[in-house]
Amino acid sequence: FINVAEEDGSSMENAFWKSQAMFYGNGGSTFKPLARGLDVGGHEMTHGVIEKTANLLYQDESGALNESFADIFGQMIDGDVNDWKIGEDVMQSGGGLPSALRDLSNPHNGQASNSPFYQPNHTSEQYFGSQDNGGVHINSGITNRAFYLFASNAQVGTAKAEQVYYKALRDYLVKSSKFVDCRLAVIQAAQ
């Protein structure tokens, strides 16, 4: 569904998956219409795939894995193997906004740590608060960066990496999986 508005009728600056459909707002001061981003569509569609495979709970680390797998496959669907950014086609410019919503190669995204566009890139920077369902969007940068490092390795490449991550999602992760479980699942899937 496109042209989705907030309950008060204002323009929605979001896109989301719910049950059996994708919903896209028209943006505003931060985003352009969100349906214009192929990686955004791939991200939302992947939430449906996640729901039908590992069904990762949308809370804490399992929720961050949920968001990360959606970012990873959204980026893979976008098609440019040298482009590690998500949402670059939907970002408004200026006002201190980054060029993309998220960057798998650099989760800090060129932003200060208090920016909503900054993500940790390692568990040493992990967020442990209650905001954002325990950091589902915030901490997804940790697994995004791990995928980037794996996929950009010349001996692996994106074609193999996406197959390994899909197998890990489908065959080895469960609703309550955490970051360590994802690491083990990726190793098992790669083997």
* CA pair distance 14, 163, nearest whole angstrom: 28
Burial of 38 (0-12, 13-18, 19+ CB in 10 A): middle
Q: Looking at the predicted structure, is the pLDDT value of residue 168 above 80?
A: yes
Catalytic one among 43, 47, 108, 137? 137
Catalytic site residue 43?
no
Q: Looking at the predicted structure, is the pLDDT value of residue 113 above 90?
A: yes
Catalytic site residue 13?
no
pTM listed for this prediction: 0.95
For 138-165, write each residue's pLDDT tens digit.
999 999 999 999 999 999 999 999 999 9
User: What is the structure's pLDDT at 20?
Assistant: 87
Catalytic one among 43, 44, 47, 67? 44
Q: Looking at the predicted structure, is the pLDDT value of residue 183 above 80?
A: yes
End-to-end CA distance of the chain: 40
Q: Phi, psi at residue 21, to the nearest 5°?
A: -150, 160
